[in-house]
């Protein structure tokens, strides 16, 4: 044998046309000595397709997201590969030749006019069975499947040099070798096209040309293996790349980047000298304030953007404030009083703050959030409410919320440069990441900034979050960041659950304890990062004489008593009333502490929630007076202070004098006061005891604290008794559990940790891009074992090929392609897939009407839906062909309006017998899941759980598949789970039947377009090439251009992909000559008010 070339091919072109989408016809020949009864095949347009077929009964993977491919090494998974038959004769054996050509299309840029096609030779043995956990099947000539029993692996030690060696699946399919044929695209030039090699079938003389070279099965020296041999060098290069990346530290990636810390309240205090009129400014106590220890400002140029609490009545005063803040790298923004009232005191504090703290909107509107007066009447508390809730205010507040976020975005875009890092803090600016993303995409055409969003308050359960009228927009705004951070896992868990149940987004665990949420084709990193106090600052303050003297004064004032201290915001969620009730219970049940304990309670009044604060203070004052009246004034010292914080010196003095610190909020984000207390009682001082609420974020940080449920008054009072009576050795033991973290986790270190997570995202993205580049350069395969050969669709090239074509055929999927579909994992869906309500937007229908009016076009919409639903949606369009039930019934184009005629496909299945077995089972599952229903078409029986709770529906679907598999083994059917539906369908049924029927009954066109979005559409893609190959062998003319397109970048038999369904609509508009985009029309929310929220 002469192993120096790899193919015989013929290419034709009748007129100038774009190379993109050009149909190529390739013939192959190979010498192979195979066992008796085995046959040789060559892979078709792709090495491996993504269609999942069956053994006895096949079922696709059931999950909350659509399954487009399977895990190769998982159990009982079956991979489908399209291939072309090769034949031989007794005279020519062992020479095998393709009976029909392999059809492929040019779907990428060609380097030096060379287009590369990858292929493999497969051996099939009809009737054989493979017991390995991963099976591969390929097509036969009767639209069925047959097991792949052997393929080449001449680079395996066990099979090297033995062409008859049967190579079983001992390694992952991604590791198997492949061949490459280089096609000179310059031959497609109409001026220079000529027959360079004989096309099979051969010429009339029945001979091959003498210069034709033939592949040799399992021969590693074949030149067509040269590209694969080069890939064997790439693992070392990849490993070197990985090692180089691993040596890179996050600091190296972030170093020298400018960092913008964005928050509504700048961490500064601006004071005005009333005499001189001049302003002064300094950083306050804040996580994001500039610090001396470990600050990121030492390695990165850092800026702060936000508002100041100081009012500036004139532009002159604003300019003075800007000037005094400029040396601190702080940029202030100013808003009028009306905007502040609506944005901050309205939307933020009256809606978002309580909602994020898990307060139901019903509670906000009706119970406990108005202004109350408390009076004592016959031993009971009587309330008189003056609460007023006006839902109409939400629209005004929301528009102010959008306006403020937009103002922040506009201000940032004036100063940001590519590669800058933007770190957005807290819920006030939840829309900002998306607004920045939109702005940078508009300005630069891509994402050029890195964004972090960190939430410092709790995140609510998905059930509470769904009550927000604009909750989806807030969630999407946060998800446009590269990293979303939380202080506690509970908060992150609620965020992940909301993303899943509200937006239908899935997440996965990543290396290093991180979590990735799949959003818009990327992974958003979710991180949990804890932070402590500035230990060096607190240490210095503790040494001051002022603090020591104040602490001693408190001890003398309450001599002989153990001090229990607490500093809380005077708001309902702080749990001050519950703390007082627990203290009252302690004095009642443990009378020995009446003369030995005192509670020092300080309530801070920030004036951010005035009604709530007045309500809380009224209740607290009532309880304080009741305690004093019952047990004397010496058991409690109560104080109220204006502002949101107490000066550090006063706090530290209180901590030094207190033996117990108690903070029992009902809901709370991060509160650093318990950590400051622990540090203040460090060695060699006497340790104190911390009592924290199990509903607080600090509860998961302080392992040595006593944890209580503040609603359990009896347990809380018992915990106070335990704390007061705790032996010294136990106090020391509890302190030692926490002191290391408290002392060494400064805000500077916390900042670096979060930025390190951002660096991890950057490094991961860089690695993925490098791997993809290596795969492209080396013609390597995707690790899953499939060939990801789809390329981004060039709509201009499609339009050019369409316009010059004399005859065209277009196949379009329905749900998910021209009708938007929501993810199956989404809890509440606005769509009703599988019903008559599912219709394309009006612009798309207009485009279809115009396309169907063109006599050169034949257009079919192929759906898995029922005849009634598909006809109700688009059946009125004249000249449009329809297919329902995934090809089970067909309605050819009609020039008249009225009732359509449907032709049923006979697939040899006794549906009456199947219904007797299936329907009782489906009825049982339907009764268990509200929202589920039985879906009957002419060619399938389905159970839809699309509108159910996604988790419950998925669990039931898994059980249903197992039960149906057992019951239907004797029938020629298989199971498919897709788009929230479990369907029983004939084994031979697929959408490819429609493609074959339409193309075979008409003269083949010059132009073929086929578009789909999921696994059920893969057979349409392979059918296009199958018919073209068979037509060519039969001497019929074949298309010059063929475009098979999948929606979304994924493993597919399609040659091209578009990102989203609106891109399909835009393509149809372009082909029809219409110029406007349907991007907005494809949205679920067609309400103009809702859609304009991110505009201007």
**What percentage of the chain reaches a pLDDT higher than 70?**
77
Q: Which of 54-63, 511-520, 721-730, 1043-1052 comes out lowest in average pLDDT? A: 54-63
Task: Return all residues near 427 (Cβ < 8 A) that are at least 6 apart.
Answer: 348, 352, 353, 356, 455, 457
Q: Which residues lie below 8 Å from residue 960, measured CB to CB, with a gap of 6+?
A: 921, 922, 925, 943, 982
- Which of 341, 360, 338 is closest to 349 using CA atoms? 341
Which residues, at least 6 apart from 143, have a Cβ–Cβ distance to it below 8 Å? 988, 990, 992, 993
> Mapping DSSP to helix (H, G, I), strand (E, B) and coil, where does residue 182 land?
strand
What is the pLDDT at residue 773? 52
Q: 109: which residues sit within 8 A by CB, 6+ positions away?
A: none
Confidence of residue 605 (pLDDT cuts 50, 70, 90): very high
pLDDT at res. 71:
30
762-790 mean pLDDT: 51
pLDDT of residue 724: 96
Confidence at residue 22, expressed as pLDDT on a 0 to 100 scale: 82
**For range 217-228, the mean pLDDT:** 88
Range among 290-299, 652-661, 1008-1017 with highest mean pLDDT value = 652-661
- The set of long-range contacts for 128-134, using a CB threshold of 8 Å and a minimum separation of 24, is 130/168, 130/169, 132/168, 132/169, 133/73, 133/74, 133/75, 133/76, 133/77, 134/72, 134/73, 134/74, 134/77, 134/78, 134/79, 134/169, 134/173
> Does position 453 have pLDDT exceeding 90, yes or no?
yes
Tell me the C-alpha distance between 801 and 1006, whole Å. 9
Task: Please report the DSSP string for 527-574 in residue order.
Answer: EE------HHHHHHHHTSHHHHHHHHHHHHHTTTSEEEEEEEESSGGG
Q: Exposure of 140 by Cβ count < 10 A (0-12 exposed, 13-18 middle, 19+ buried)?
A: middle
Q: Confidence band (pLDDT; 50, 70, 90) for 719?
A: very high
pLDDT at 815: 87
> Helices (DSSP H) in 558-706: which residue ranges?
576-589, 610-631, 648-657, 673-680
Angle between helix 535-542 and 728-744 (nearest 10) = 130
Q: Residue 402: its pLDDT value, please?
A: 96
Higher pLDDT, 51 or 104: 104
Phi-psi region at 437: left, alpha or beta (left = phi > 0; alpha = psi -120 to 50):
alpha
- CB neighbours of 77 closer than 8 A, spacing ≥ 6? 52, 61, 70, 71, 133, 134, 135
Exposed e or buried b per residue across 13-40, where buried means at least 16 C-beta atoms within 10 angstroms of its C-beta: eeeebbbbbbbbbbbbbbbbebeeebbb
If we measure between CA atoms, which residue out of 257, 427, 251 comes closest to residue 350? 427
Q: Which of 821, 819, 824, 817 is nearest to 982 (CA)?
A: 824
**With bands split at pLDDT 50, 70 and 90, how would you rate the model's confidence at 130?**
low
pLDDT tens digits, 790-846: 788 888 889 999 999 999 999 999 988 898 766 665 655 555 444 445 788 889 999
With 0-12 CB in 10 A as exposed, 13-18 as middle and 19+ as buried, what is 299?
middle
Out of 107-116, 316-325, 527-536, 1013-1022, least confident range: 107-116
Q: By C-alpha distance, which of 560, 1011, 1071 is closest to 811?
A: 1011
> Smallest Cα–Cα separation from 783: which of 44, 231, 244, 248?
231
pLDDT of residue 846: 92
Average pLDDT of the chain is 79
User: Among the ranges 260-269, 891-900, 905-914, which has the highest mean pLDDT value?
Assistant: 260-269
Q: CA-to-CA distance for 462 and 1091, rounded, in angstroms?
A: 23
Cα gap 1090→1096, rounded to integer Å:
13
Is the pLDDT at 61 greater than 70? The verdict is no
pLDDT, tens digit (0-9, with 9 covering 90-100), for 373-402:
344 444 333 444 344 556 667 889 999 999
How much is the pLDDT for 1072? 92
User: What is the pLDDT, as a whole number, of residue 937?
Assistant: 82
CB atoms within 10 A of CB 116: 13
The pLDDT of residue 183 is: 76
Helix boundaries (H) for 370-516: 393-413, 432-444, 462-465, 471-479, 489-503
Mean pLDDT along residues 187-196: 39
Average pLDDT over residues 747-767: 79
Say what the pLDDT of residue 198 is: 28
| pLDDT band per the 50, 70, 90 thresholds, residue 274 | confident
CB-based contact 830:822 (threshold 8 Å): yes
pLDDT score for 1068: 94
pLDDT > 80? residue 965: yes
* 195 vs 1056, higher pLDDT: 1056
Strands 95-98 and 83-87: antiparallel
Give every CB contact of residue 591 below 8 A, 6+ residues apart in sequence: none
Strand bridging mode 522-528 / 514-519: antiparallel
User: Would you mind telling me the total number of residues written for the chain in this entry?
Assistant: 1096
Q: pLDDT-based confidence at 364, cuts 50/70/90?
A: low
Give the tens place of pLDDT for each residue, 902-926. 988 888 888 889 999 999 999 999 9
Q: How far apart are CA 658 and CA 555, in angstroms?
A: 8
Closest listed residue to residue 1052, CA positions, set 1018, 1016, 1023, 1078: 1018
CB 372 within 8 A of CB 618: yes
Task: Using alpha carbons, select from 28, 58, 32, 53 the residue that is nearest to residue 43.
Answer: 28
pLDDT at 133 over 60: no
pLDDT for 169 beyond 90: no
pLDDT beyond 80 at 207: no
Contact 268, 282 (CB under 8 A): yes
CA–CA gap between residue 493 and residue 248 (Å, rounded): 31
Band of pLDDT at residue 137, cut at 50, 70 and 90 = low
Place of tokens 């957005």: 424
1016's tokens: 């059920």
**pLDDT given for residue 723 in this prediction:** 95
The pLDDT, as a whole number, for residue 217 is 92
- Specify the pTM: 0.69
pLDDT value, residue 819:
86
Are 730 and 704 within 8 A, CB to CB?
Answer: no
Residue 934 and residue 926 in contact, taking contact as beta carbons nearer than 8 Å? yes
Residue 989: pLDDT above 60? Answer: yes
Angle of helix 535-542 versus helix 673-680 axis, rounded to 10:
50
Closest to 59 (Cα-Cα) out of 1022, 832, 969: 969
Give whole-number Cα distances, 715 to 593, 694, 697, 706, in Å.
16, 12, 20, 11
At 7, is the secondary structure helix, strand, or coil?
Answer: coil
242: number of Cβ within 10 Å: 13
Predicted confidence at residue 1061, as pLDDT, reads 87
| Pairwise pLDDT comparison (309 vs 629), residue with the higher score | 629
Q: How high is the pLDDT of residue 79? A: 61
CA distance 607 to 720: 31
For residue 446, give the nearest of 407, 410, 419, 485 by alpha carbon: 419
**pLDDT classification of 1026: cutoffs 50, 70, 90:** confident
Cα dihedral: 251, 255, 261, 267 (round 10): 80
| φ, ψ dihedrals at 26, nearest 5° | -120, 130
């Amino acid at each position: 044998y002469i192993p120096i070339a790899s193919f015989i091919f013929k290419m034709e072109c009748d007129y100038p046309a774009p190379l993109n989408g050009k149909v190529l016809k390739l013939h192959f020949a190979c010498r192979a000595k195979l066992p008796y009864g085995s046959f040789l095949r060559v892979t078709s347009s792709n090495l491996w397709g993504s269609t999942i077929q069956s053994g006895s009964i096949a079922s696709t993977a059931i999950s909350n997201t659509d399954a487009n491919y399977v895990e190769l090494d998982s159990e009982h998974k079956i991979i489908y590969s399209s291939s072309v038959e090769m034949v031989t004769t007794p005279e020519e054996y062992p020479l095998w030749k393709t009976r029909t050509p392999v059809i492929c299309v040019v779907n990428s840029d060609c380097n030096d006019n060379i287009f590369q096609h990858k292929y493999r030779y497969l051996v099939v043995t009809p009737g054989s069975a493979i017991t390995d956990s991963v099976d591969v099947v390929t097509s036969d000539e009767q639209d069925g499947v047959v097991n792949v029993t052997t393929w080449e692996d001449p680079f395996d030690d066990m099979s090297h040099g033995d062409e008859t060696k049967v190579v079983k699946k001992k390694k992952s399919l991604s590791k198997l070798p492949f061949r490459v044929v280089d096609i000179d695209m310059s031959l497609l030039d109409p001026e220079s096209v000529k027959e360079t090699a004989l096309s099979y079938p051969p010429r009339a003389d029945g001979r091959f040309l003498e210069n034709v070279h033939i592949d040799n099965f399992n021969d590693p020296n074949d030149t067509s293996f040269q590209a694969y041999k080069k890939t064997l060098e790439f693992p070392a290069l990849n490993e070197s790349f990985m090692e180089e990346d691993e040596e890179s530290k996050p600091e190296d990636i972030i170093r020298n980047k400018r960092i913008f810390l964005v928050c509504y309240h700048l961490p500064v205090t601006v004071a005005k000298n009333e005499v001189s009129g001049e302003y002064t400014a300094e950083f306050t106590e804040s996580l994001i304030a500039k610090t001396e220890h470990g600050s990121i400002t030492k390695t990165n140029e850092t800026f702060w953007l936000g508002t100041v609490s100081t009012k500036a009545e004139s532009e002159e005063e604003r300019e003075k404030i800007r000037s005094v803040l400029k040396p601190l790298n702080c940029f202030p923004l100013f808003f009028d009083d009306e905007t502040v009232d609506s944005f901050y005191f309205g939307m933020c504090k009256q809606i978002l703050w309580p909602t994020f703290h898990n307060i139901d909107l019903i509670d906000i509107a009706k119970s406990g959030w108005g202004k109350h007066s408390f009076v004592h009447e016959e031993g009971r508390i009587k309330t008189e409410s003056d609460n007023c809730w006006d839902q109409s205010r939400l629209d005004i507040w929301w528009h102010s919320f959008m306006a403020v976020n937009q103002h922040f975005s506009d201000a940032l875009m004036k100063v940001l440069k590519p590669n800058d890092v933007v770190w957005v803090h807290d819920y006030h600016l939840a829309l900002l990441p998306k607004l920045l993303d939109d702005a940078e995409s508009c300005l630069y055409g891509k994402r050029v900034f890195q964004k972090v969003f960190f939430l410092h308050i709790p995140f609510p359960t998905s059930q509470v979050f769904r009550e927000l009228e604009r909750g989806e927009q807030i969630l999407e705004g946060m998800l446009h960041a590269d990293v979303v951070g939380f202080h506690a896992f509970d908060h992150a868990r609620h965020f992940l659950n909301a993303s899943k149940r509200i937006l239908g987004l899935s997440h996965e665990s990543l290396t290093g304890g991180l979590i990735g949420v799949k959003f818009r084709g990327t992974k958003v990193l979710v991180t949990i990062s804890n932070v402590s106090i500035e230990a060096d600052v607190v240490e210095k303050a503790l040494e001051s004489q002022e603090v020591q003297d104040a602490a001693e004064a408190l001890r003398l004032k309450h001599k002989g008593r153990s001090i229990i201290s607490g500093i809380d915001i005077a708001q309902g969620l702080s749990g001050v009333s519950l703390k007082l009730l627990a203290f009252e219970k302690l004095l009642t049940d443990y009378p020995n502490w009446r003369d030995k304990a005192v509670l020092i309670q300080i309530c801070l009044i920030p004036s951010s929630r005035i009604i709530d604060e007045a309500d809380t203070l009224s209740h607290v004052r009532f309880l304080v007076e009741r305690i004093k009246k019952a047990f004397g004034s010496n058991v409690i010292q109560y104080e109220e202070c204006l502002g949101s914080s107490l000066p550090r010196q006063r706090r530290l003095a209180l901590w030094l004098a207190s033996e117990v610190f108690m903070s029992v909020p009902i809901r709370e984000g991060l509160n650093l006061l318990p950590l400051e207390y622990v540090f203040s009682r460090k060695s060699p001082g006497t340790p104190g005891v911390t009592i924290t609420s199990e509903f607080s974020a600090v509860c998961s940080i302080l392992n040595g604290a006593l944890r209580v449920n503040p609603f359990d008054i009896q347990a809380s009072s018992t915990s106070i008794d335990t704390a007061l009576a705790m032996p010294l050795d136990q106090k020391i033991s509890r302190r030692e559990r926490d002191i290391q973290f408290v002392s060494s986790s400064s805000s500077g270190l916390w900042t670096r940790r979060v930025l390190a997570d951002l660096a991890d995202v950057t490094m991961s993205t860089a690695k993925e891009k490098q791997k993809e580049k290596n795969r492209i350069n080396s013609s390597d395969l995707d690790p899953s074992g499939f060939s990801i050969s789809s390329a981004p669709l060039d709509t201009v090239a499609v339009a050019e090929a369409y316009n010059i074509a004399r005859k065209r055929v277009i196949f379009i999927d329905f749900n998910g392609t021209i009708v938007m579909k929501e993810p199956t994992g989404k809890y509440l869906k606005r769509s009703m897939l599988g019903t008559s309500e599912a219709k394309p937007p009006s612009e798309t229908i207009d485009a279809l009407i115009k396309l169907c009016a063109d006599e050169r076009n034949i257009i079919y919409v192929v759906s898995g839906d029922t005849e009634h639903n598909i006809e109700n949606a688009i059946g009125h369009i004249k000249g449009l062909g329809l297919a329902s039930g995934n090809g089970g019934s067909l309605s050819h184009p009609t020039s008249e309006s009225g009732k359509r005629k449907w032709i049923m496909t006979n697939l040899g299945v006794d549906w009456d017998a199947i219904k007797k077995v299936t329907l009782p089972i489906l009825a049982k599952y339907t009764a268990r899941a509200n929202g589920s229903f039985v879906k009957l078409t002419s060619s399938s029986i389905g159970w839809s759980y699309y509108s159910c709770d996604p988790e419950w529906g998925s669990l039931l679907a898994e059980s249903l598949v197992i039960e149906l598999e057992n019951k239907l083994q004797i029938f020629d059917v298989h199971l498919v789970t897709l788009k929230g539906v479990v369907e029983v369908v004939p084994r031979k049924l697929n959408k490819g039947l429609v493609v074959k029927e339409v193309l075979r009954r008409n003269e083949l066109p010059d132009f073929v377009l086929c578009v789909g979005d999921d696994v059920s559409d893969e057979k349409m893609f392979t059918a296009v090439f199958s018919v073209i190959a068979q037509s060519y062998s039969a001497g019929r003319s074949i298309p010059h251009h063929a475009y098979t397109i999948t929606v979304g970048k994924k493993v597919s038999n399609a040659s091209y992909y578009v990102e989203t369904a609106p891109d399909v609509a835009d393509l149809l508009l372009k082909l029809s000559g219409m110029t406007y985009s349907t991007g907005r029309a494809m949205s679920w929310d067609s309400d103009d008010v809702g859609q304009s929220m991110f505009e201007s």
